[in-house]
Amino acid sequence: MAKRKKPDRPADTANPLLNTHIADAGDIIEQSIVDTLEINYMPYAMSVILSRAIPEIDGFKPSHRKLLYTMYKMNLLSGGRTKSANIVGQTMRLNPHGDASIYETMVRLARGNESLLCPFVDSKGNFGKAYSRDMHYAAPRYTEAKLEPVCGELFGEIDKNTVDFVDNYDSTMKEPTLLPVTFPTILANVSLGIAVGMASSICSFNLRELCATTVALIRDQKHEVIDTLPAPDFIGGGTILYDREQMEEIYRTGRGSFKVRAKYKYDKAFNCIDVFEIPPTTTCEAIIDKIIERIKAGSLKEITDIRDETDKNGLKITIDLKRGTDPDKLMAKLYKITPLEDAFSCNFNVLISGHPQVLGVRDILIEWIRFRGRSVFRRISFDLSKAQDKLHLLEGLQKILLDIDKAIAIIRKTEEESEVVPNLMIGFGIDQTQAEYVAEIKLRHLNREYILKRLKDIEDLEAAIAEMKSTLGDKAKLRRVIIKELEAVSKKYGQDRRSDLLATHAIEDEAEEESVPDYPVTVFFTRDGYFKKITPQSLRMSSEQKLKEGDALILQQETTNNRDLLFFTDRMQVYKAKLSDFADSKASVLGDYIPAKLDMEEGETTVFCAVTDDRYAGYVLFLFQNGKAAKVTLSSYATKANRKKLVKSYSDKAELACMMQLPQDTEVVIETTAGRYLLLDTAMISPKTTKDTQGVACFSLKRGNRISVVRPYVPGEFVKPGRYKSKTLPTMGALLSAEDAMKKTNVTLEGFE
């Protein structure tokens, strides 16, 4: 670290305050950027990661834990509701980050907001809705809240030393570092958080299935999780597009995504569709806005009106249809182009002992089982200690009760109160704790019934202590305790699954292609990547094509509007598009710039365009400058899924000389820089289904030579075509004959006349 002083300035006699010296004021301090980040930025980043955004193994972020613990201390688990403003104010003793953020946290935890599959706050009043962007929650002075009964599973044993407690921010009270939850809350609710350099996105699972899976894992760690926990479950329901392999990958890695689509029903009487469940990642306003946008663009002509009819009965989006519209086909279309089908991205990032870790479902549950095992062990140890203390007192009482008259005599004969306990200790051979307990017994309790009850308590305590010691020393018994509690939670709070499952292969079977108007068009594609389609009527009005300066046409083909397009690029990739996605154009415009239209990579350019249909018949012929040729079936570029980009579309082992689309085998003329020609029948090249095949050698080129021109053969081009053909490949080719050379010269000269 280096310092450089500014030059001294003369004293200002008019204002003595300006002459006051401040240490290091005006110094320029040079500091490494790495040191600056470490000193100034890292503490903030770690605070956000550890204390704000990432949940811990008990399923809660610090803000959630502080709020719920405050409500528990306010007796809101068994008592009545209180004003939300009161709860917010009390929570600020643990969380000083502002009342607005505390209330927002409580809103999300509330049953009325419908954010969580297992809500923790019993709310009264307007708490907004998670599925609505515009339905805001009321101010805290208007709403009331208490804890849901399920919170008994969070706090039922918190006073039994099951978790650690730390000081709050001003050391005026204690707060728990974790909550001793009796079921895996970490996976029972959706948890989203964005930290610094990392994030967390955990989906919710059905509580009944979650408890059953945890029990199965406790009994057998090799249990296949997906067998008892098939898929996530959401408070808003919806239909999960289910792919077992995809879900297994998410369960294994903790990363991935799956799609959720809305549920609907068709009202035949009013000819409308009612959407009543939507994906958890969107809102009803976002869906309506997108549908309206599509209606204005003209791509949803089947819809006459759309409106939000959400009321106290729940979410409802109504879509009015034109007469004759098939509702199922329309919904299949809406799923593709609107948020009625959306993806939930999973990133199971959890804090384990203060360290963020991305874990799969099995690993999270195993970590929770370990955490729960420690909590149960500490609880039983606490109960054992209390039972031993009580037994110790009763054992002292037992000795006294054997000769009550002696105890009474000792107390009566003791002159000073301070001597009562020592005299009892001496008289009966008990310790101070036992003697003090005996001394405090009321006179009314010195009867036969009381004595018999206390002796029975000793027997029960001894049995309980023996059982607790046995449990603490036997891991199998500890596991049975956890299993019993999980089964009780499942029975008491478990609910049926809300989200349905729909196999993805069933969707592919039921999905129908959108009807595309079919009519004749002519397509044009230029060397610089401009594309346009023109109808015959427009082409008759003006056939002169406008091109960018220096550009040239490389494709002009008559076809129909329902064809597919394959755009090959200089990076050995293919971008797929439908001709119907391009608007009808005119000869007087440049057309669509394909790299921008198809969102190609920066600097990527197109080299060829192939027009095909759903059969993908024919071949693509690749000629490389090293003399090799590859014939790839066009069907190799067909995909069942609607993939927009295919990588490794052709070989990158040599520089491409030419690319041609062949509906069927034909003859092509290949010319080299050495002036040699080959009339090649493409049937001599075996077709391949491997797109990036290197092909077979057609030309035996000398060093420095390469293929320069490839073109379709025009009958009559050569006087003796057989001269340039070869029965075997590779070949050296042939030089032009004198007749063909003269013919070529005449053709060239005719171009200058």
Q: What is the pLDDT of residues 203-246, one digit of tens each?
A: 999 999 999 999 999 999 899 999 999 999 999 999 999 999 99
State yes or no: pLDDT of 625 exceeds 80.
yes
For the segment 568-576, the average pLDDT, to the nearest whole number, is 92
Q: What is the CA radius of gyration of the chain?
A: 40
**Does some domain include residue 19?**
no
Q: Are residues 323 and 423 in the same domain?
A: no
Q: Are residues 93 and 148 in the same domain?
A: yes
State yes or no: pLDDT of 14 exceeds 70.
no
Q: Are residues 335 and 440 in the same domain?
A: no
* Averaged pLDDT of the chain: 88
For residue 306, give both structure tokens: 């759309």
| Dihedrals phi, psi of 134, to nearest 5 degrees | -100, -10
Q: Are residues 533 and 430 in the same domain?
A: no
Which of 298-302, 344-348, 359-363, 449-453 shows the lowest per-residue confidence on average (mean pLDDT)? 449-453
**Does some domain include residue 171?**
yes
615 pLDDT band (50/70/90 cuts)?
A: confident
State yes or no: pLDDT of 509 exceeds 60.
no
Q: Are residues 329 and 391 in the same domain?
A: no
Q: Which H or E run includes 661?
A: strand 656-662
Q: Are residues 390 and 531 in the same domain?
A: no
What residue numbers bound the domain in which 170 lies?
60-180
Which of 5-19, 228-242, 276-290, 704-718 shows the lowest per-residue confidence on average (mean pLDDT)? 5-19
For the segment 667-682, the average pLDDT, to the nearest whole number, is 90
pLDDT computed for residue 516 by the predictor: 62
Q: Are residues 569 and 656 in the same domain?
A: yes
pLDDT computed for residue 749 by the predictor: 42
Cα–Cα distance for residue pair 693/622, rounded to 1 Å: 10
3 pLDDT band (50/70/90 cuts)?
A: very low
pLDDT computed for residue 23 by the predictor: 66
State yes or no: pLDDT of 173 exceeds 50.
yes
**Does some domain include residue 358?**
no
The percent of residues above 70 in pLDDT, for the chain, comes to: 93
For the segment 450-468, the average pLDDT, to the nearest whole number, is 86
Cα–Cα distance for residue pair 68/72, rounded to 1 Å: 6
Helix, strand and coil content of the chain, in percent to the nearest 5, comes to: 40, 25, 40
pLDDT computed for residue 449 by the predictor: 80
Where would I find the beta strands (DSSP E) of 481-599? 500-503, 520-526, 530-534, 553-560, 564-569, 574-578, 592-593
User: Which one is predicted more confidently, 713 or 4?
Assistant: 713
Q: Are residues 103 and 158 in the same domain?
A: yes
State yes or no: pLDDT of 511 exceeds 60.
no
State yes or no: pLDDT of 525 exceeds 80.
yes
Q: Are residues 551 and 404 in the same domain?
A: no
Q: Are residues 540 and 689 in the same domain?
A: yes
Q: Which H or E run includes 124?
A: strand 121-124
State yes or no: pLDDT of 422 exceeds 60.
yes
pLDDT computed for residue 387 by the predictor: 94
pLDDT computed for residue 21 by the predictor: 59
Give the domain CATH number at 581: 2.120.10.90
**Does some domain include residue 33?**
no
For residue 488, give both structure tokens: 């009780």
Which of 120-134, 227-241, 250-264, 646-660 shows the lowest per-residue confidence on average (mean pLDDT)? 646-660
Give the domain CATH number at 327: 3.30.1360.40
- Which one-letter DSSP state was computed for residue 107? H
pLDDT computed for residue 50 by the predictor: 83
For the segment 419-440, the average pLDDT, to the nearest whole number, is 88
CA atoms within 13 A on the CB side of 420: 17
Cα–Cα distance for residue pair 338/290, rounded to 1 Å: 6
Final residue belonging to a domain, choices 148, 180, 212: 180
Cα–Cα distance for residue pair 431/86, rounded to 1 Å: 48
Contact in structure between 520 and 560 (CB atoms under 8 Å): yes
Where would I find the beta strands (DSSP E) of 432-573? 500-503, 520-526, 530-534, 553-560, 564-569
Cα–Cα distance for residue pair 523/612, rounded to 1 Å: 12
State yes or no: pLDDT of 20 exceeds 80.
no
Contact in structure between 130 and 114 (CB atoms under 8 Å): yes
Give the domain CATH number at 457: 1.10.268.10
Give the domain CATH number at 104: 3.90.199.10
**Does some domain include residue 49?**
no
**Does some domain include residue 510?**
no
Final residue belonging to a domain, choices 339, 361, 394: 339
Beta bridge partners of 584: 533
For the segment 126-143, the average pLDDT, to the nearest whole number, is 94
State yes or no: pLDDT of 492 exceeds 80.
yes
Contact in structure between 204 and 236 (CB atoms under 8 Å): no
599: left (phi over 0), alpha (psi -120 to 50) or beta: left
User: Which one is predicted more confidently, 327 or 12?
Assistant: 327
27 pLDDT band (50/70/90 cuts)?
A: confident
State yes or no: pLDDT of 259 exceeds 70.
yes
Contact in structure between 305 and 263 (CB atoms under 8 Å): no
Q: Domains in the chain: how many in total?
A: 4
For the segment 61-82, the average pLDDT, to the nearest whole number, is 95
Residue with tokens 């040239």: 552
For residue 611, give both structure tokens: 């027009």
Residue with tokens 């009612």: 274
Cα 518 from chain centroid (whole Å) = 40
How many C-beta atoms lie closer than 10 Å to residue 556's C-beta?
11
Rounded to a whole number, what is the distance in angstroms from the first to the last CA of the chain?
80
Reference 273, options 299, 303, 293; nearest CA is 303
State yes or no: pLDDT of 402 exceeds 80.
no
Cα–Cα distance for residue pair 461/438, rounded to 1 Å: 18
State yes or no: pLDDT of 496 exceeds 60.
yes
For residue 22, give both structure tokens: 């401040």
Cα–Cα distance for residue pair 320/271, rounded to 1 Å: 6
pTM for this prediction: 0.68
**Does some domain include residue 457?**
yes
Reference 744, options 669, 680, 682; nearest CA is 669
**Does some domain include residue 12?**
no
Query: Could you give the residue numbers annotated as active site?
Result: 142
**Polymer length in residues for the chain:** 753
pLDDT computed for residue 753 by the predictor: 38
State yes or no: pLDDT of 577 exceeds 60.
yes
Interstrand relation of 500-503 and 239-242 (parallel, antiparallel or unpaired): parallel
Which of 30-34, 64-68, 401-405 shows the lowest per-residue confidence on average (mean pLDDT)? 401-405
13 pLDDT band (50/70/90 cuts)?
A: low
CA angle centred on 41, ends 38 and 42, rounded to 5° = 60
Final residue belonging to a domain, choices 126, 158, 180: 180
State yes or no: pLDDT of 512 exceeds 50.
no
Q: Are residues 468 and 329 in the same domain?
A: no
Q: Are residues 564 and 693 in the same domain?
A: yes
User: Which one is predicted more confidently, 36 or 423?
Assistant: 423
Cα–Cα distance for residue pair 179/160, rounded to 1 Å: 12
State yes or no: pLDDT of 642 exceeds 70.
no
pLDDT computed for residue 704 by the predictor: 84
44 pLDDT band (50/70/90 cuts)?
A: confident
For residue 228, give both structure tokens: 């008892």
